[in-house]
Structure 1
Amino acid sequence: MHERLTHFREILRYVPRFRDRVFVIALDGAVVEDDNFPNLLLDIALLRSLSIRVVLVHGAALQIKRYGELIKMTPSDIDGTGITDRETLNVAITAANRVTHEILEGLTANDLRAVCPNALVAHPAGILGGVDHLFTGRVERVDTGLLELLLERDIVPVIPPIGIDGAGASYRLNSDAVAVELAKSLKAVKLVYLNTEGGVRDARGAVIRQMTAQEADAVLKKSRAELPPGAVTKLTAAVRACKEGVERVHIIDGREQEGLLGEVFSNEGIGTLIHANEYQAIRQAQKKDVRAVFGLIQQGVQNDELLKRSRAELEKIIGDYFVFEVDRNPVACAALHTYPEENMAELASVFVADRYGNQGIGAKLIQFTEGAARRRGIAKLFCLSTQAINYFVQKGGYALGTPDDLPPARRERYEQSRRKSQVLIKQLSDRPA
């Protein structure tokens, strides 16, 4: 197990939040055939043992392509987004049935009851761009009552990328889109996409750990041509899911051992998290956050970025702090200490956990804290820095100051610290300080 999951307490910390809630887990067909699939089933069994309700959706693109080669035909559509002719539909049904059966076999081997229900009512995609898409379909309705009945009885629904209309005709569906419809209908707390590519990557090839739905939409508009096709469909689905009520969407590599647990039960994760609203991620710190904020400050002290504070001191001023959350866990902090007599405030203790660096979180916290100062009518903001001076001057709009610019009480502590930090000043209003 990953080191971050060594202690079972790390998992138990999340359990109250997820108990009796629904996870929709979407697996690419290639994930089902990977050597890690048996381990993935163990992860799912653990989720069920923690009273987390699981719905599985699967794709079959790899199997459709392979079966087409076997019978010497080229499918007209692989992933359920193009045109599906009759022959391709038959191949898709055969391939999807095989994948469904493999999943049912694996769940049974882990003592989990499972079933493949006819829970998707579909209709033809119709004529798009002047072209009839034939047997490509869209989800018209999810039989939520049927799925909820199965979940209440501890039965895992396994949903293939095939839908049936009211007349009994079958249609090929895109599994990523199906997962969104299921997550919406069941009010899932998480939608997890498991692929063989891992999370969404930036221009440097590094996995983007977390994005808001708005940021993900911007990535699609700017870099669609550079992204792999699978990343485009999943990112598109994730944005739509967030906009339509799903709070958290994860895109991870299904081949990584215990990757599902590592993504769900830790702050760090292994893939890309897309979440619904960035401003819900920043909030004022509360007493329950003292431990987390103290841990962040300790990391900053070790890096010689922050001034040391005792936990007792922090408890007294925790109301001055703001935290940035990822999946409801504080991963960054900032403080706003006010000096009413001088109508000034200090921006302090800005720190982002190392694993969330270079994602713009620090900038968002600084902007948020500055906004809080403006709303309070603060005329002048100051901060002390030893390592981020250029950032505050070039991007933050601060000017270089001197210790004489500090309020007397803060000047005294400045001299005592002997850190020789640079004083930076920013005028927020024309009101005299």
Structure 2
Amino acid sequence: MTTPGRAHIRWFRNTAPYINMHRGKTFVLMLGGEVAQHDNFSNIIHDIALLKSLGINLVLIHGARPQIAARLAAADVESVMHKNIRITDTAALEHVKDAAGSLRAQFEALLSMGLPNSPMQGARIRVCSGNFVTARPMGVVDGVDFQHTGKVRRIDVSGIHDQLNDGSIVLLSPLGYSPTGEIFSLALEDIAVNCAAAIGADKLILFGAEAGVTNRDGELIRQLAVSELENLTIQDTAQRTLLQTAQLACKQGVPRCQIISYQDDCALLEELFTHDGSGTLVANLDYEQSRQADIEDVGGILELIEPLEQQGILLKRSRELLEQEIHCFQLLERDSRIIACAALYPFPDESCGEIACVVTHPDYRGGQRGQRLLRELEQEACNQGLKRVFVLSTQTAHWFLEQGFAEHSRDELPDQKQALYNLQRNSKVFFKDL
């Protein structure tokens, strides 16, 4: 007869493969403001402490929507929404900062506990919060000025990794900061997706009210591939939002996203350390490869670059010209669909080459695919004996500067390129030594 004590020991023994699998991995946990209001919140904190003790690197991202709404209502400040996004004016921003700061302190306090005879005994967890998220204003959309509501512009990847390597849990609030010292209210999902993709997280774990995503009959869907989501209809708005967040994260390179319940005790541990899990797994199973383009790809490339040509970001290319230059293009392909492209035009007499037409499909931006193609073309330029590469840019200068390019005079361009230089576009010239 198996005693309850031995049953627990055997369960613990069965978790060994998962403990070994997860050790040293990086997980991002997205916890909405509702989590902190639930009675199970302290248990979730205890489980987070356990994950840390098992050698898992953790980034926690907390929301504050219900806390913000409560503060606005108490102060009799109208909460104006447009397309389900809060417009943050100057008065509302003060309450946003207050709610985010208060909730951050609550997380830090609970993670600092170490009372004897409690699950936190001996945990000694260090929590690091900071200005890891650079933001930009959302701006004017549909004629509506969102004021202090913003979007993620950049994640401080090296800063986060430094803290994780130093043994800290990184805690991010739903705020972002601009280089000019402004504070922006950000969507929790925006931070979670961008952070998980940027730092190369192994998992993004999303906490919702229900145990994952359910079908029309109310049955839990255990696992979904990204390619299956397009034809899936989810009635529940909250579940649909979580699923869309998981889908976007997977498209940006996060291998796995898991949707679990914040109401169910031990849901986090059950999801990570049992075979069946407790929620819904969204896996990035689609195949993605890099290859040289051929004549059959002309239509796909034209479809990819046409929107940027219409916006004036790229110089317009005709089908005939693209057919002649197709051998210069490198592609990223996912499930037989072209999702990114870039081209290298060599000028061997000047020992340099032009990199052009670096484009990523909007659904797949944020996963460093442009950087991947750029590195591949730089390596190809080296293989051809070229010493440097250059780009011409009108609107993406900062991105190329971040990739190691430096601005130069157009007089340094190869003679053939100078003769074709479009004065009307007035593109800036950037070179990079290889």
Please give the per-residue CA displacement for 1:355-392, whole angstroms capped at 9, x wherever unaligned. Answer: xxxxxxxxxxxxxxxxxxxxxxxxxxxxxxxxxxxxxx
Partner of 2:47: 43
d(CA) in 2 for partners of 1:206 and 1:83? 37
Q: Check the 8 A contact 1:121/1:164 in 2, yes or no.
A: yes
> Deviation of residue 256 (structure 1)?
1.0
Alpha carbons of 1:76 and 1:198: their partners in 2 closer, same or farther (altered >3 Å)? farther
Residue 95 in structure 1 maps to residue 108 in structure 2: no
* Aligned-pair CA distance for 1:218: 2.7
1:239 and 2:247 aligned: yes
Cα separation, 2, equivalents of 1:84 and 1:246 = 30
The residue that corresponds to 1:398 in the other structure is none
Deviation track 1:57-114 (CA, whole Å, cap 9, x = no partner) reads 0010111111122222232249983422222222111111111111000100132110
With over 3 angstroms needed to count, the CA separation of the structure-2 counterparts of 1:115 and 1:279, relative to structure 1, is: closer
Relative distance call for 1:48 and 1:79 in structure 2 (3 A) is: farther
Structure 1: which amino acid aligns with 2:254? V
Residue 62 of structure 1, aligned match among 63, 66, 72: 66
User: Structure 1: which amino acid aligns with 2:202?
Assistant: V
2: distance between equivalents of 1:57 and 1:5? Answer: 33
Q: Which amino acid aligns with 1:256?
A: D
The separation in 1 between residues aligned to 2:83 and 2:98, in whole angstroms, is 14
Structure 2 counterpart of 1:178, from 186, 191, 207: 191
Per-residue deviation, 1:22: 0.5
| 2:283 is aligned with 1:275 | yes
What's the CA shift string for 1:329-354, capped at 9, x where partnerless? xxxxxxxxxxxxxxxxxxxxxxxxxx
Aligned residue identity for 2:91:
E
Letter in 2 for 1:105: A
Aligned counterpart, 1:122: 135
Q: Distance in 2 between matches of 1:51 and 1:161?
A: 26
Q: Is the 8 A contact 2:79 2:86 kept in 1?
A: no
The aligned counterpart of 1:227 is 236
Q: Which residue of 2 aligns with 1:34?
A: 38
Query: What SS does the corresponding residue of 2:108 show, helix, strand or coil?
Result: helix
Which residue of structure 2 lines up, in the alignment, with residue 259 of structure 1?
A: 267
What's 1:154 paired with?
Answer: 167
Q: How many Å separate the matches in 1 of 2:81 and 2:46?
A: 33
Residue type of the alignment partner of 1:273: L
Quote the Cα distance in structure 2 between the aligned partners of 1:148 and 1:238.
Answer: 22
**What per-residue deviation string (whole Å, max 9, x for no partner) do you get for residues 163-214 of structure 1?**
0100010111111121111111111111001122331221112221111112
- Matched residues, number: 274
Q: CA deviation at 1:227?
A: 2.4
Change (3 A) 1:261 1:72: same
- Aligned-residue CA RMSD in angstroms? 2.3
- 1:132 corresponds to which residue? 145
SS in 2 for 1:140: strand
Amino acid at match of 1:47: L
Whether 1:200 aligns to 2:213 is yes
Contact kept, 8 Å, 1:29 with 1:59, in 2: the verdict is yes
How far did residue 276 of structure 1 move? 0.6
Residues 79, 87 of structure 2: 8 Å contact kept: no
Unaligned runs of 5+ in 2: 114-119, 289-434
Which residue is equivalent to 2:402? Answer: none
SS at match of 1:13: helix
Normalising by structure 1, we get a TM-score of: 0.60
Q: Check whether the contact 1:187–1:246 (CA below 8 A) recurs between aligned residues.
A: yes
Corresponding position of 1:284: none
The TM-score with structure 2 as length reference comes to 0.60
Partners of 2:211 and 2:261 within 8 A in 1: yes
Provide, for residues 124-166 of structure 1, a one-character-per-residue CA deviation record: whole Å limited to 9, x for no partner.
Answer: 1122233222211111000111111111111111100000100
- 1:119 and 1:6 map into 2 onto residues whose CA distance is 42
The 1:208/1:55 distance shift into structure 2, 3 A limit, reads same
User: What is the distance in 2 between the residues matched to 1:246 and 1:9?
Assistant: 29
Provide the C-alpha distance between the structure 1 equivalents of 2:59 and 2:84, rounded to a whole number of angstroms.
Answer: 20
Partners in 2 of 1:252 and 1:67 — Cα distance? 28
Structure 1 residues 152 and 146, CA, compared in 2 at 3 Å: closer, same or farther?
same
Is residue 137–residue 171 contact of structure 1 (8 Å, CA) maintained in 2?
A: yes
Query: Tell me, which stretches of 5 or more residues in structure 1 are unaligned?
Result: 281-433
8 Å Cα contact 1:80-1:173 kept in structure 2: no
Q: Provide Cα deviations, 1:393-429, integer angstroms capped at 9, x if missing partner.
A: xxxxxxxxxxxxxxxxxxxxxxxxxxxxxxxxxxxxx
Q: Tell me by how many angstroms 1:279 deviates.
A: 7.6
The answer as to 2:176 corresponding to 1:163 is yes
* 1:159–1:80 Cα change, 3 Å: farther
Change (3 A) 1:133 1:217: farther
Q: Select the structure of larger CA radius of gyration.
A: 1
Three-state SS of the structure 2 residue aligned to 1:7 is: helix
CA distance in 2, matches of 1:87, 1:79: 20
Q: Percent identity?
A: 32
**More deviation, 85-94/243-252:** 85-94
